[in-house]
Amino acid sequence: MPSGDGKGGNMIRIGILGYGNLGRGVEYAVEANPDMELAAVFTRRDPASVKPRTQVPVVAASQAAEWKDKVDVLILCGGSATDLPKQTPEFAKLFNVVDSFDTHANIPTHYAAVDAAAKAAGHVGVISVGWDPGMFSLARVYANAVLTNGADYTFWGRGVSQGHSDAIRRIPGVRDAKQYTVPVPAALEAVRSGSNPTLTTREKHTRECYVVLEEGADAAAVEKAIVTMPNYFSDYDTTVHFISEEELQRNHAGLAHGGFVIRSGATGENNAHKHVIEFSLKLDSNPEFTACVLAAYARAAYRLAAEGAKGCKTVLDIAPCYLTVQTDAELRKALL
């Protein structure tokens, strides 16, 4: 990338929209990047009710336009179901934006909406940044580009699936629940062997549910409702554990997650040579790690905008050199 585009220059002024687990993670991530500073936290709640860990102004989201020239990149920390489809195109009118939109099936629609808004306003919008989509997408694309003759496998976990936990909570009689997605060790080993196994949904992951019942609820009925639930559980081996609210708080409040992207393929005469490419993450805090990825791509958004780029980008459109604080020459010397 060209020099003089912000590398070693001005601080990148970051805004956060939404101060939940992810927003708090971005606050930490900005501190961990020497060329960034947090300019403001924007919220749809009463700003007086939001107390950031650091000394940073809290601003009503409705007043964001006043910060147009005081924020270089806005990192959107809302959810993919209802927040981001609306917010990312809307705030791309005011700022360069980065989001972690993760509803895979709706990415093309979201891309089109953000692209139109960002192009019209002359901003850069980077969507679907995080670990999946995000770093796992990178692993899949690089591995596919290199091993053209092969098969892809993505395993998630061990970690909490928010969507599956929510699905359990909607069952009558359930007060609270956490659902862990767990890769099946034998499936992982089969994939790593390079044998390109065909694996059913059931063979790849198991699901573990920790459920707190309402008083007087029928445990057997709840368990049946879980394990037979289409799409979410019926295609998996699912175990259900009924526990107390105290135990759920004590043992299942963590936000750890992770997973594996593996591509195995073959080359050469009669495809005799097998190769296995594996990328994995083991994360103590899903939101704090996602926030780190968002911060790196906020730097890219800032630099791309400084170069005159406009419109929507994903991690697949951005060269790695845009992500780090080091200059290209430093990268070639130290990390290439």
Residue ranges for the known binding site are 19-22, 43-45, 77-80, 100-102, 129-133, 156, 181, 207, 257, 286
Q: Mark 27-66 with x for binding to a copy of itself (rule: CB under 8 A) and - for no binding.
A: -xx--xx---------------------------------
Assign 3-class secondary structure to 18-72. CCCHHHHHHHHHHHCCCCEEEEEEEECCCHHHCCCCCCCCEEEHHHHHHHCCCCC
Tell me which DSSP letter residue 13 carries: E
> Residues with Cβ < 8 Å from 240, sequence gap 6 or more?
209, 211, 222, 223, 226, 227
Question: Residues 12, 56, 117, 135: which binds a copy of itself (CB under 8 A)?
Answer: 135
- How far apart CA 150 and CA 97 sit, in angstroms, is 36
**Tokens representing 242?**
């009924």
Cis before residue 133, ω within 30 degrees of 0?
yes
Measured from the CB of residue 75, what is the shortest distance to a copy of itself in angstroms? 14
Choose the stretch contacting a copy of itself; rule: CB under 8 A; options: 160-168, 180-188, 234-242, 323-331: 323-331
CA pair distance 17, 99, nearest whole angstrom: 10
Stretch binding a copy of itself (CB under 8 A), from 3-11, 132-140, 212-220, 243-251: 132-140
User: Whole-angstrom distance between the N-terminal and C-terminal Cα of the chain?
Assistant: 15
Taking CA atoms, 102 is separated from 79, 92, 172, 209, 319, in Å, by 9, 18, 28, 23, 21
Q: Considering CB under 8 A, how many residues would be counted as binding a copy of itself?
A: 69
| Of 15 and 130, CB closest to a copy of itself | 130
Axis crossing angle, helix 21-31 with helix 286-306, rounded to the nearest 10: 60
Q: Shortest Cβ distance from residue 238 to a copy of itself (Å)?
A: 28
| Element counts in the chain: helices (H) and strands (E) | 11, 14
Least distance in Å: CB of 13 to a copy of itself? 18
Amino acid at the residue 328:
D
| Minimum CB distance to a copy of itself, residue 271 (Å) | 9
What φ, ψ does residue 101 adopt, rounded to 5°? -55, 120
What is the nearest approach in angstroms of a copy of itself to the Cβ of residue 66? 31
Q: How far is the CB of 176 from a copy of itself (least distance, A)?
A: 23
Name the minimum Å distance from CB 153 to a copy of itself: 13
Candidate ranges 71-79, 116-124, 127-135, 233-241; the one touching a copy of itself (CB under 8 A): 127-135
Quick one: angle between helices 83-91 and 107-121, nearest 10? Answer: 20
Subset of 138-177 contacting a copy of itself (CB under 8 A): 138-142, 144-149
- If binding is defined by CB under 8 A, does position 128 make contact with a copy of itself? yes
Query: What are the binding residues for NADP(+)?
Result: 19-22, 43-45, 77-80, 100-102, 129-133
Under the binding rule (CB under 8 A), the answer on residue 104 touching a copy of itself is: yes
Residue 22 is a binding residue for a copy of itself (CB under 8 A): no
Q: Identify the H or E element spanning 190.
A: helix 185-192
Binding positions for a copy of itself, rule: CB under 8 A? 1, 25, 28-29, 32-33, 104, 107-108, 111, 128, 133, 135, 137-142, 144-149, 192, 194, 267-269, 272-285, 288-289, 291-293, 296, 299, 314-321, 323-325, 328-329, 331-333, 335-336
